[in-house]
């Protein structure tokens, strides 16, 4: 478990930071009409932010050298 966390630390950091950013976007900006598919509900916005943050930071993962 510890090895998995160490190998995927950038992905996990991206998920947490992206989730927080998605939640804050919903809280600060949101969607007044309720017709926005991503920002109308907090859980949609948080999940979308977490996925985007995880994808963004996983780009920088280095492959082990042989």
Q: Is 23 exposed, middle or buried (0-12, 13-18, 19+ CB in 10 A)?
A: middle
Segments forming the whole domain that contains residue 43: 15-58
**Residue 25 domain-assigned?**
yes
The pLDDT > 70 percentage for the chain reads: 100
**Residue 63 domain-assigned?**
no
**Residue 27 domain-assigned?**
yes
Distance between CA atoms of residues 17 and 35, nearest Å = 26
- What does the pLDDT read at residue 65? 80
**Residue 6 domain-assigned?**
no
**Residue 29 domain-assigned?**
yes
pTM as predicted: 0.84
Question: What domain count does the chain have?
Answer: 1
Over the chain (66 residues), the average pLDDT of each successive run of 10 is: 86 96 92 82 94 93 79
């Amino acid at each position: 478990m510890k090895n998995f966390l160490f190998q995927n630390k950038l992905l996990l950091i991206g998920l947490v930071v992206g989730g927080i950013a998605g939640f804050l976007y919903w809280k600060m900006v949101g969607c007044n009409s309720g017709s926005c598919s991503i920002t109308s509900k907090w859980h949609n916005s948080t999940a979308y932010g977490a996925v985007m943050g995880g994808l963004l930071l996983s780009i920088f993962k280095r492959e082990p050298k042989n």
